[in-house]
């Protein structure tokens, strides 16, 4: 299961022009998750969503090119520690004490992709 190889957490940062929800994924060594967008339609792209909050913009990190034997052109993936930043308009989170969300991810190694998981995240709103 993907949840055994990918851990997710979140934190809220206040900015001068917007606030940010920073989601951190820790992907186990030897595994990766699909980038956003995913390289092929049948792969599950890494995505984030939040209860009651619609980000104005979500910034994903630059993907790495992974070339397994079954995909000659390669796959766009994230490995190791991955930070995804969701920007929300300043003040959007003001009324919330806590923020809850879901990270959808699919862990893969060089042979197989595991079933995708919906990983819960929560953060206190300062």
With beta carbons less than 8 A apart as the criterion, state whether 48 and 101 touch. Answer: yes
What dihedral do alpha carbons 40, 78, 66, 43 form, nearest 10°?
-20
- Convert the pLDDT of each residue in 15-59 to its tens digit: 889 999 999 999 999 999 999 999 988 899 999 999 999 999 999
Give the model's pLDDT for residue 112: 87
- Convert the pLDDT of each residue in 67-122 to its tens digit: 877 777 889 999 999 999 999 999 888 888 899 999 999 999 988 889 999 999 99
pTM of the predicted model as reported, rounded to 2 decimal places: 0.93
With beta carbons less than 8 A apart as the criterion, state whether 115 and 1 touch. Answer: yes
């Amino acid at each position: 299961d993907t949840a055994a190889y990918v851990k997710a957490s979140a934190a809220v940062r206040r900015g001068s022009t917007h606030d940010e929800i920073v989601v951190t994924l820790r992907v186990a060594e030897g595994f990766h998750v699909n980038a956003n967008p995913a390289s092929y339609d049948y792969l599950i792209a890494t995505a984030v969503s939040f209860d009651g909050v619609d980000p104005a913009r979500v910034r994903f990190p630059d993907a790495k090119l992974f070339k397994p034997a079954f995909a000659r052109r390669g796959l766009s993936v994230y490995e190791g520690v991955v930070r995804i930043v969701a920007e929300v308009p300043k003040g959007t989170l003001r009324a919330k004490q806590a923020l809850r969300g879901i990270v959808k991810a699919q862990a893969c190694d060089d042979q197989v992709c595991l079933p995708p998981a919906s990983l819960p995240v929560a953060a206190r709103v300062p």
